Amino acid sequence: MEKEKLLIRPYGDRKDDGVVQISFVLPVPASEQAKEAAALVAKKLGLSHVLVSAMEKAGEDYSFFVVYGRTHMQLDFNAIEVPTVIHRKHGYDELNEVIQRDLGRRIVVVGACIGTDSHTTGIDAIMNMKGFAGDYGLERYPQYRAINLGSQVEPAALVLRAKAEGADAILVSKVVTQRDVHKEDARALIDAAKQEGIFEKTIFLFGGPRVDHKTALELGFDAGFGPGTKPSDVANYIYYRILERAGKIPLPQETAHGTQDATIAGASVSPSGGPPEKLGETL
């Protein structure tokens, strides 16, 4: 069914005025000439009614600018399609129960912050026992065996450890993204997994402040988790992804905790009995 168009424009002072704010640095000393150069940059970008609202020295022979302008651009919001991770989310006790019921074993996850990145806040929030925001980390789950390798782990080393542990999933965190180093390291991890023969049977998850599900899919991962992701989001996703790969998506049924064990949106068996759709492809 074709969606009705929803045309939108940037909003500054009032709806649909097209006002935007941009900021940038030019490699020249702060001066009236530099200010005019900043205005010309904005105009060459297609902005009208340009106003340079701030000019500050950003270093020797460098200047920082904040510029306002109007754009005539508009887009159809309803035409935008972005893949998202959609799944049923069980509570802590219930998830442990259904893992034991459906798999009969612990799920093994190996995680690390790869490359030269030394920021462990993200990987620790998901893997460590205390988790964050009152949401338990994977180490706290009796039905998970979480192995956190910490920071500055080479992609090949992470793959070898995951292979040795028989990991169901590999969780990668990247905070540093300058010059797309997070993408380079992610591709190196996928390449190493293919060389070691574990790519097809392992679930790959990518997380970080500049990571989303679309980026993760493009890099060969199963899912991407950005800011705000909780450990329980990852724990539930891995459980259902394992079932999906094995063709064992369970029918809704009561659990000991009184709630129904439902299937993932976009991953249930089709009415014709065909194979389930892939996770993350439901928009």
Residue 192 to residues 24, 35, 77, 204: CA-CA distances in angstroms? Answer: 38, 49, 39, 12
Q: 180: alpha, beta or left, given left = phi > 0 and alpha = psi -120 to 50?
A: left
**Cβ distance 22 to 42 under 8 Å?**
yes
**Cβ distance 144 to 182 under 8 Å?**
no
Residues 6+ apart with CB under 8 A from 249: 240, 243, 263, 264, 267, 268, 269, 276
Q: Which residue is associated with the tokens 């190493």?
A: 192
Active-site residue, 214 included: no
H or E, element range at 110: strand 107-113
Q: Which one of 130, 194, 201, 248 is the catalytic residue?
A: 130
Active site residues: 130
